[in-house]
Structure 1
Amino acid sequence: MSEHGSRKSGIDERTEFLGFDAAQRQRLRDLKPTVEKSIGGGLDVFYEKVARVPEVSKFFSGADHMNAAKTRQSGHWGNVTEGRFDDTYVDGVTTIGKVHAKIGLEPRWYIGGYALIVEQLVHGIVRERWPGMFGRGKSSELAADISVVVKAALLDMDLAISVYLEELEKKRQEAEDNRLAAERDQNEALEKLGNILKALSDGDLESRLPSGLPGRFDSMGADYNGSVENLRQSIAQVRDASEQILTFSRQLQDNSERLSQRTEQQAASIEESSAALHELSESVTSTAQRTRKASDVTAEALSLANSSGEVVTSAVAAMGDIETSSVEISRFIGVIDDIAFQTNLLALNAGVEAARAGEAGRGFAVVAQEVRELAQRSAEAAREIKKIIADSSVQVKTGVELVSKSGTALENIIGRVEEINQIIGSIASAASEQSSGLGEISSAVNEMDSITQQNAHMVDETSGQINKLTGEVERLTTSLRGFKTRDPNDAAVSSASSRRAGDAPARSRKVA
């Protein structure tokens, strides 16, 4: 039987139980004018109450909405007072009950509304019967009129509430069915998800949730499969990257060890260079000191050479004076030679005269002979002296020439000594600058040695950290190798595969 047929059967049972026979239905139709007069006031009272109660007024958007509801309810009471309780009436009551169930209007407000409306209807009937209702038999008619209106109202309220409760039960049953279906779907999805999670916990990134899961779990399964595919790609990329990092870290480890060895060798070489440079600096410093001493000695030699030059100049002047004196002596010797010659002539003449004188001139002749001999010896002595002076003059000239040459040579020596003194001074200055520069270089080399030692220490620490990094990368790589992913060259395996959870992939590999 249909829902409408069931309700029609139910209303027949209710009207029979309430005693709604043809007479009462006719009485209800007779009251229709009275009801139509009173229903408006009753609805006004009811909706005034509704407007003041937030729990009920929330179901209406405004005054127009309430007026529309009031019009529909007034029309419904017109159907009620027809007393036919046919399909049209059943459809109207069913609509009212479903609307109340849909909007969540609790029965207490519905019952309260009927009470207010029935109150106004009873007042209307009483006013309509006034004052003739107090005669014999009139009170029974009034009671019958009120009774039929109340029974009609209760019947209408019963039917509306029954529809309301049926709708609630239907919703509850529907919700229960949905809950059970959702529970079944959830259990099915959880079972498949449990299997797939077990495979995932075993490192299998190839298993997927099957497509066609019930309800919303299908989209969740697609999202999960997409997430696992992204995870698989990420793990594969991380694994490949970790393999490369491991290779690079091992190369870096080898390079670090070689760098450490080279740094140690460099530190040793710099230390040796520092020692050699220190010795060289000391040697250059000593050379500079000796050069300064040589410069001092050269300066003294230059001073002595200058003094010697002065002495040579004095000697040349003295020899010139000697030469002049020799010339004068030669001149004097010439005079003496002339005197001796004249004396010899005079002695010769005296001897001649003495000879003429005879015996008387014999003594004089002896004297003259002695004088002549003396004159001859003087002449010979003068000639010898002259010869000696001549030889001395020659020697003096030769000495003057030699002394002049010595002076010239000494001047050249003085010039050379001055040049040597300047050169030695330049060497001493350069040696001092070299010593200062070598000192700075030595300081720089010492600082470089210190930095190199620090670098060697840092290289050792870096090498240790690289060794630790290599160990960590090896452990990471080993862990990543535990995930099962398909061969990247295998294009036949699709990420959208719908293998059952826990099934082994058709083409998968355990990365070793």
Structure 2
Amino acid sequence: MSSEDQLGRRLDFMQLDGEARGRIAGMEKSILGALPGALDAFYSQVSAFPETKAFFSNAAHMDGAKNRQISHWNRIAKGQFDQDYVRAVTTVGQIHAKIGLEPRWYIGGYALLLENLLAKVLDERWPKSRFGGKLPGAAERGAEIGAIVKAALLDMDYAISVYLEASEAARLKVEAEARAVEEAKAKERDKAIGYVGSGMAALARGDLTHRMADDMPAEYASIRDHFNDAMAKLGEMVASIKTSSSAIAASSQEINSGANDLSSRTEQQASALQQTAATTEELTASVKSSAQSSRESVTLADNASAVARTGGEIVKDAIEAMARIEGASKKISEITSVIDGIAFQTNLLALNAAVEAARAGDAGRGFAVVAAEVRALAQRSAEAAKDITALIGSSDTEVVEGVRLVRQAGETLEKIVEASMQVSSTVNEIAAAAGEQANGIDEMARTVSHMDEMTQSNAALAEQSAASARALLDQIERLNRLVSTFRTAEGQDAPMPARRSRAA
């Protein structure tokens, strides 16, 4: 309900309608004329009571309040009960609430104000005699009306005071009950917070075995249940992580070891393939050189066959020459026989001449010298003939042996010619096979080179795999260190595998 509707309802209930408000407006002059004196009497009474005087700091403060009341009564005296009146009354009520002015003092003050105000208004408006003088009884009637007003306001004061006291008592009771409930809730809340704090502290320590007690206040039982369920599930999860990380760590170690071993083996394989490639290239060059040498060998074999055939012809000529040498040797033997006979006869003649010269004495001395020289010459000739004969004999032996050897050489040359022809044929076949072998080895060299490239790539991949495995193992170890800070229920923890050394 709006403020305007509330005001209308109040005016209707009090029957303070337009006619009544008109009567008030008709008395405006009398009211405003009586108001200052009534307020003076009111504030005089206020100053007499410490309870009311305490609300004013000095006389100026009291005069300010009096002036505001006069302004407020100017609106009332005109019968203007509108929203401005409501705002003014609201301000007064807020000030009274702020300074702690109880309604009984406000109602009592209005009783005094109305007594003086009504007495003066009644006195002013009391009927006059026809001679212009006031009829007696105005003051008595004012006092009677004032007494009635005071009685009514006193009754209202007590009713309102009791109502307010009862309301205050009810409010205090409600507040006390609420405070008791709040204190009980605070205790339960503190207890719950203590349990939650202990749980959080245990969780911070990594103790996943901690559980909140069953005597958790009922209002917070769901927190206990959720926390205990969360801790149980978290414990299971951490235990599972420990188990899984242990298995992963073991697998990672195996992967790391295998990757390192693979990397090492791949590097060795790459090195072996490089050596194989180099050897294959050398072998290719060697086979090509062998093929070229085989082709050259064919030419050499053909040349050797030709030389062997030529040698055969030469051997035949040598045999014929040996035969001629043998005939010449025989003739020389005959000549040396003749020379040996001549030397023998000459020696005999020289011997006879020496005998005759001895017989002749001095006359034959010169002849004897000549005979001695001839004899010596004959002896040397005989010796030379003997040496020639020995040489001719030896030459005949050598010539016979030479003929035999030359014939053997001829036969050997014929075999060499035949072998050279076979060698030439075989070398031709070797040259063809060497050419095919060179082509095959060349293709093999290209294949080995391609394998070397693939192996180098595999080696790089193996090294990357080993690095990834090492990084994974490091992460798993970090995870193990993290989850090892949590304590789980007995039987949930899984042993952490010792890290094996990495393969070189």
Q: Shorter-chain-normalised TM-score: which range? A: 0.3 to 0.5
TM-score (norm 2): 0.41
